[in-house]
Chains A and B, each alone.
Chain A
Amino acid sequence: SAVISQKPSRDICQRGTSLTIQCQVDSQVTMMFWYRQQPGQSLTLIATANQGSEATYESGFVIDKFPISRPNLTFSTLTVSNMSPEDSSIYLCSVALGTEQYFGPGTRLTVT
């Protein structure tokens, strides 16, 4: 398995601002993922972030709104840009070890 940390654990932000979420893993991994989990809902994949290449976004998610960085094999950031109340969610990063994925604790974002 892998130990994954996220910062911040939670935040309350005003609409129109941006928040950058950090994800750190304790070992080198090729594939990292960012998910959104709206209140009481399931997990929806935002994008796949491989080191050394551009992130691949899922349908309904665009780079201008959710820019992602992946500077090395243990770290990634997700920025939620120009936030609106509809962006209030839990944002989760995960890493792939073989076919298994391990998740971080999540960042709970509230946009007012």
Chain B
Amino acid sequence: GENVEQHPSTLSVQEGDSAVIKCTYSDSASNYFPWYKQELGKGPQLIIDIRSNVGEKKDQRIAVTLNKTAKHFSLHITETQPEDSAVYFCAASSRGTYKYIFGTGTRLKVLA
């Protein structure tokens, strides 16, 4: 069945450094790829997304890249800050299904 692999499971970076989280999906029909940030005790928050017709999208310090051929997409956070510390989830969805397949999550720690 559909599967989304996410790496790494944990990531520690120094404040100001960049962080990269990678996901690989199995369903070639997937065409929408959101990223969520979940802080302790809260629900997941949509932070950025990308659709299959573009290769990159940027929003301030956050960017997402998509390689459809290789079926992988990545989240890039630049100039990390302590408030970026959270668990990040990637997901993949196929056209018309509205169902998300989530990755296993990455716990990001930004060290001050």
Within the complex, the shortest CB–CB distance from B17 to chain A, in Å, comes to 25
Chain A residues 1 to 28 lying within 8 A of chain B, measured CB to CB, are: 1, 4
B89 touches A43 (CB 8 A): yes
Chain B, 38-74, contact with A by CB distance < 8 Å: what is the 0/1 string? 0001111110010100000000000000000000000
Given A100-B34, A101-B34, A103-B45, A42–B99 Cβ distance below 8 Å?
no
Residues of A within 8 A of B (CB): 1, 4, 31, 41-45, 48, 92, 96, 99-106, 108
B25: Cβ under 8 A from any A Cβ: no
A100 touches B49 (CB 8 A): yes
- A-B contact count, CB below 8 Å? 45
A92 touches B98 (CB 8 A): no
Within the complex, the shortest CB–CB distance from B51 to chain A, in Å, comes to 8
Residues of B within 8 A of A99 (CB): 32, 49, 51, 93, 98
B99 touches A105 (CB 8 A): no
Chain B contact surface mostly: strand
Residues of B within 8 A of A43 (CB): 44, 89, 100, 102
For chain B, give the interface size range: 20 to 34
Residues of A within 8 A of B34 (CB): 100-101
Within the complex, the shortest CB–CB distance from B90 to chain A, in Å, comes to 10
Whose C-beta in chain B lies nearest to the C-beta of A6?
B43
A48 touches B99 (CB 8 A): yes
| The 7 A-B residue pairs with the shortest CB-CB distance in the complex, in nearest-first order | A103-B43, A105-B43, A43-B102, A42-B102, A103-B44, A99-B32, A106-B43
Complex Cα gap A48–B89 (Å): 20
Contact of B43 among A41, A42, A92 (CB under 8 A): A92
Complex Cα gap A101–B47 (Å): 11
B18: Cβ under 8 A from any A Cβ: no
Within the complex, the shortest CB–CB distance from B66 to chain A, in Å, comes to 15
